[in-house]
Chains A and B, each alone.
Chain A
């Protein structure tokens, strides 16, 4: 299907925004490390992956724009806090602790991979084909961050303790990724998005495989309260948003 029925456009915008917002803010957060990551090559690689995330966000915003008739910049930078639908793990500050940045990246990247895979099975063709291509790229992110988990877990006692601590610290935030964006249900009922309930289980299994391989442990509980996907954000998010909108709020037409 190439044309999305009108009554499904708003639900679709919700699902797309939650996906793109996760990526935009994660990429923005990770770009904090440009120039200061622990080693030069990690710095270059992390920056490159951050660029990817922002690029992914940007093409998804373009797809949103085909439904809302806005341009990607307006959508990315021109909303109020309550209209951003990212899960707040993506903006949770790592306090410039590399292990924290890796743990955050790990949970989010594997989630993104499985989410894109599911979106690629959409019956709305423009989304399915875009998600398929992004998912292939996302596999690189998963490889990269899984290797970091493995290296840190199997590095020395110090690195093992630090990454374990970060994995534990981010675990409660990780399950917030699963808060369903508004509209998801409706799109599933209409058969536009696949509805299989094992998304959480699949993700958890992927997480556990890598963690076990690295000689670490993880404990995740499903999350139930309202959060980022409903526009309810924490302080770290607000800080990120202000930073992100700095240019746009001064000059919405700035070309950069």
Chain B
């Protein structure tokens, strides 16, 4: 099987990257999702279009997935992220200086988690993160009406259409007809 001219296995072997976005000043960077990309430069360009355009976004961080959970690493500043419970997204809690990934997570636990319960911690060397600052390198495009990109813009229109349909009882009639065949 192919996707375009690339075989699936080549595409599947692209590393996975984790993307964090910041919606507005004073908000923390929150995990937005992941993507696959052959390298860091494409990862940040893809992230900009993918996670940087589905919501207002003023800053975006991208790093290789394997590093976030790794216990290895150099002596450096680490950005640390806590997932407070299963199902919640990792959010940036701060930065720590540490000798490796394990130490960074331990320090994070001590400084930022304390007695609170949490689900998991990610840590990554600052130098391994690609950071895109929307102030100098535009991410979210505010020039034109972008509401069609947002869930809110989409759902408002859909809701109007549903309301119009419901008002005309068309849905009930449709369902009646539809179910007649089934039962």
- Decide: A48 and B49 in contact? CB cutoff 8 A: yes
In the assembled complex, B127 has its CB within 8 A of some CB on chain A: no
Interface residues of A in 120-139 (CB under 8 A from B): 133-134, 136-137, 139
In the assembled complex, A140 has its CB within 8 A of some CB on chain B: yes
- Decide: A45 and B49 in contact? CB cutoff 8 A: yes
> Using an 8 Å CB-CB cutoff, how does the interface string of B63-89 with A read, 1 for contact, 0 for none?
000000000000000000000000000
- Decide: B144 and A55 in contact? CB cutoff 8 A: yes
- Decide: B143 and A51 in contact? CB cutoff 8 A: no
If the complex has contacts A39-B11, A140-B138, are A133 and B143 also in contact, measured as CB distance less than 8 A? yes
Binds B, one of A79-87, A143-151, A167-175, A184-192: A143-151
In the assembled complex, B162 has its CB within 8 A of some CB on chain A: no
- Decide: A59 and B144 in contact? CB cutoff 8 A: yes
- Decide: A42 and B46 in contact? CB cutoff 8 A: yes
- Decide: A144 and B4 in contact? CB cutoff 8 A: no
- Decide: A144 and B45 in contact? CB cutoff 8 A: yes
- Decide: B5 and A98 in contact? CB cutoff 8 A: yes
Rounded to whole angstroms, the CA-CA distance of A45 and B48 in the bound complex is 8
In the assembled complex, B120 has its CB within 8 A of some CB on chain A: no
Chain B residues near A211 (CB-CB < 8 A): none
Rounded to whole angstroms, the CA-CA distance of A134 and B138 in the bound complex is 11
Contact of A137 among B49, B50, B138 (CB under 8 A): B138
- Decide: B37 and A55 in contact? CB cutoff 8 A: no
In the assembled complex, A73 has its CB within 8 A of some CB on chain B: no
In the assembled complex, B155 has its CB within 8 A of some CB on chain A: no
Rounded to whole angstroms, the CA-CA distance of A58 and B38 in the bound complex is 34
In the assembled complex, B107 has its CB within 8 A of some CB on chain A: no
In the assembled complex, B146 has its CB within 8 A of some CB on chain A: yes
Q: Count the A residues whose beta carbon is within 8 Å of the partner chain — how many?
A: 28
If the complex has contacts A44-B49, A144-B49, are A38 and B144 also in contact, measured as CB distance less than 8 A? no
Chain A residues near B4 (CB-CB < 8 A): 36-39, 98
Q: Count the B residues whose beta carbon is within 8 Å of the partner chain — how many?
A: 26
In the assembled complex, B149 has its CB within 8 A of some CB on chain A: yes
If the complex has contacts A36-B4, A39-B36, are A45 and B143 also in contact, measured as CB distance less than 8 A? no
Chain A residues near B143 (CB-CB < 8 A): 59, 133-134, 136-137
Chain B residues near A38 (CB-CB < 8 A): 3-6
Chain B residues near A44 (CB-CB < 8 A): 46, 49-50
- Decide: B149 and A51 in contact? CB cutoff 8 A: yes
> Using an 8 Å CB-CB cutoff, how does the interface string of B1-18 with A read, 1 for contact, 0 for none?
001111000010010000
In the assembled complex, A52 has its CB within 8 A of some CB on chain B: yes
In the assembled complex, B152 has its CB within 8 A of some CB on chain A: no
In the assembled complex, A40 has its CB within 8 A of some CB on chain B: yes
Interface residues of A in 25-44 (CB under 8 A from B): 36-42, 44
Interface residues of A in 42-72 (CB under 8 A from B): 42, 44-45, 48-49, 51-52, 55-56, 58-59
In the assembled complex, B141 has its CB within 8 A of some CB on chain A: yes
Rounded to whole angstroms, the CA-CA distance of A36 and B6 in the bound complex is 12
Q: Which residue of A lies closest to B37 (CB)?
A: A41
Rounded to whole angstroms, the CA-CA distance of A51 and B49 in the bound complex is 11
- Decide: A151 and B42 in contact? CB cutoff 8 A: yes
Taking A39-B14, A137-B143 as known contacts, 5 extra A-B pairs with beta carbons closer than 8 A to each other, sorted by chain A number, are A39-B3, A41-B42, A45-B50, A51-B148, A151-B41
Closest 7 CB pairs of A and B: A38-B4, A45-B49, A55-B144, A41-B46, A48-B49, A133-B143, A44-B50
